[in-house]
Amino acid sequence: MLDALWNLSKPEEVFKFPPISPFSLCFLSRSLEQIYRRQVLRVPRKSVLVTLATPRLTPVTNGLVHFIFFILVSLACFYNFPNLINGELVLALPYVVFGFGLCINGLFLSVIFSDMLAWNGFCPSGTHILQRFYSILFDWYVRNIFGALMLCSPAAFVLANFQLCMFWNSRTLNVSAAAEFSIGEYRMVHGILFTFMLFNLTLFPNFSSWTKSLSATIICLTSCLLMHWPFQGFSYSCPSQVVGFSAITSAIDTNSPPVWLAAAESTLFPWEMTVILSLNLILIFFLNRDIDISFRVSFNRDFEASRAKKAISREKMQGEWLLENIIPRFVLTDLRKTNKYSQHVKDAAVMFASIANFSEFYDEQYQGGQEMLRVLNEIFADFEHLLSSSRFKDVEKIKTIAECFMAASGLNLVQRAQNKSPDAHLYALMDFATELLKTLEDFNRQMFNFQFELKIGYNVGEVTAGVIGTTKLLYDIWGDTVNVASRMYSTGQKARIQVTEDVAQRLSSQYDFEYRGNVFVKGKGEMRTHLLIGRKADAEPY
């Protein structure tokens, strides 16, 4: 697990500058960039704590803030520009821009709020449609185009109210003091609006930083162009604007004008505003860049942590799988608690199945016997495949000894207690033994020049099960029952299952046996043994 974690990313590299292009700020890995762009489309899992920083919720909070900003800027324009209220504008452009901005902001909010209600279960009937519409709107390119229009809406409304003649030079002309006050007031109001109308372009970290920075650049260039073009003196071609705006400046004392008025009336005021806009643009550019980088650093760190977590989980699952193939699962529970396991089991069934003529097949002269061992592995793999059947849930493979396959049943006392019949595990192992004979017959049909022969010994009795070792663990069973089962296969007949007389009597309700005779068993002397004929036709299912 540690090796897998180390191979993913070195710890000191995770917190460095993320693997992104310094210019475009896109991830160098195309697949990682696609994942980053799609994160806003992921619905949070119920098990995950949802916060305002959750990618799916970020557009909601930013959309609300932007809508409030748009309304405040609009109210400021309606308050400071009387022509908007009294309808004296010659062109309807400001109303069109305001309506467009209101619609595009309202559409954005309605989509994200409807989607939020849908994935929270408040609108189950339209969930699919809403989420589909949300996924279209938040596609990377659609998101940035739509976002650019929405982010430019406050500044566009301010610029739509821009009166060109108010910013042209008035010093060279003989104009009234009231007109100069109106011009100065107008310039100051627009200067303040120009200063604040770009701040919303740092919202929405889900949008590209270049989209926001380029939008700010276009707004700044347009503002500067309007302030400096054309370079000619003030003309009374727009007297209504001056007269209309003078309603605000009527309270100003012409004998003692405010300090800011001289600066606002100066011919250098447009250049001063140009400097302010340029500084704001630089600030917004670096803010957007730093915000984008910080979000990508956070995403890259979370992504690497997720990869490491999955790698560890995968290694853990593989380790569990390997361990369960060495030690039965029911043993692992106790082994994890106490680091040791031993159990005395009564009425356990033990079986040995040996390929009697494998030594005749084995030839060490040919590739050191590797091909023969491959064949043996295929046979045992077919045997083990039978254990995946629910019929043999009580059967456990114990080990293989050369060409001998050892299995037992009834070792899991908890599972054994759930069986309908107390002898169900005995019948399961006997059926497993008969299936081994059939499996080997099927395997022999694929062999052209050799036929393997299987001898099986079966016995029932008390055993002791346990795990030996601390590093290389070994699960095994011991007892006289195991020894007798081993003798049953060693003295048995090919393609037959040999049992003791006690076992034949114990299983006589389910199986038919034929008496073989007395067989000498080392350590036991002469023993009466029987050979399995088959399962009774009228045997009840267990």
Cβ distance 541 to 509 under 8 Å? no
Q: 302: buried, middle or exposed (CB in 10 Å: 19+, 13-18, 0-12)?
A: exposed
225 and 91 together in one domain = yes
Domain contains 410: yes
Owning domain of residue 258: 2-313
**Would you call 506 a catalytic residue per the annotation?**
no
235 and 347 together in one domain = no
pLDDT in the model for residue 416: 92
3-state SS of 203-233 is: CCCCCCHHHHHHHHHHHHHHHHHHHHCCCCE
Cβ distance 269 to 187 under 8 Å? yes
71 and 146 together in one domain = yes
286 and 370 together in one domain = no
pLDDT in the model for residue 44: 64
pLDDT in the model for residue 125: 57
Furthest-apart CA pair in the chain: how many Å? Answer: 138
Q: Given 287, 313, 339, which residue is the final one in a domain?
A: 313
Q: Which two tokens stand for residue 157?
A: 């409304």
234 and 359 together in one domain = no
Beta strands in 387-453 (DSSP E): 395-401, 404-409
Domain contains 35: yes
282 and 352 together in one domain = no
Domain contains 233: yes
Residue indicated by tokens 């727009």: 238
SS3 call for 256: coil
pLDDT in the model for residue 48: 62
Q: Helices marked H in 81-171 — which ranges?
A: 82-86, 93-119, 127-137, 140-160
283 and 417 together in one domain = no
Domain contains 45: yes
398 and 305 together in one domain = no
pLDDT in the model for residue 533: 94
DSSP state of 50: P
Active-site residue (options: 393, 455, 487, 516): 487
Domain contains 524: yes
Domain contains 541: no
* CATH number assigned to the domain comprising residue 347: 3.30.70.1230
SS3 call for 452: coil
334 and 214 together in one domain = no
pLDDT in the model for residue 212: 94
SS3 call for 393: coil
Q: What is the pLDDT along the chain (542 residues), one digit of tens a residue?
A: 555 555 555 555 555 667 888 888 888 889 998 988 888 777 666 656 667 667 778 888 999 999 999 999 999 888 887 666 555 554 678 889 999 999 999 999 888 888 777 766 665 555 567 677 778 888 899 999 999 999 999 999 998 888 766 666 554 444 566 566 777 777 888 888 888 888 899 999 989 999 999 999 999 999 888 888 754 444 444 555 555 555 455 555 556 666 667 777 777 888 888 999 999 999 999 999 999 999 888 888 888 888 888 888 888 888 888 887 888 888 888 888 888 889 999 999 999 999 998 888 877 777 767 888 888 999 999 999 999 999 999 999 999 998 999 999 999 999 999 999 999 999 999 999 999 999 999 999 988 788 999 999 999 999 999 998 877 888 999 999 999 999 999 999 999 999 999 999 999 999 999 999 999 888 888 999 999 999 998 888 87
Domain contains 53: yes
Stretch (H or E) spanning 530? strand 525-535
pLDDT in the model for residue 7: 56
252 and 342 together in one domain = no
Active-site residue (options: 522, 524, 528, 536): 522
| Number of independent structural domains in the chain | 2
Domain contains 321: no
Rounded Cα gap, residues 183 and 265, in angstroms: 7
Q: Given 285, 313, 341, which residue is the final one in a domain?
A: 313
**Would you call 516 a catalytic residue per the annotation?**
no
Q: Given 259, 283, 313, which residue is the final one in a domain?
A: 313
pLDDT in the model for residue 370: 83
307 and 337 together in one domain = no
302 and 366 together in one domain = no
- Amino acid at residue number 175: V
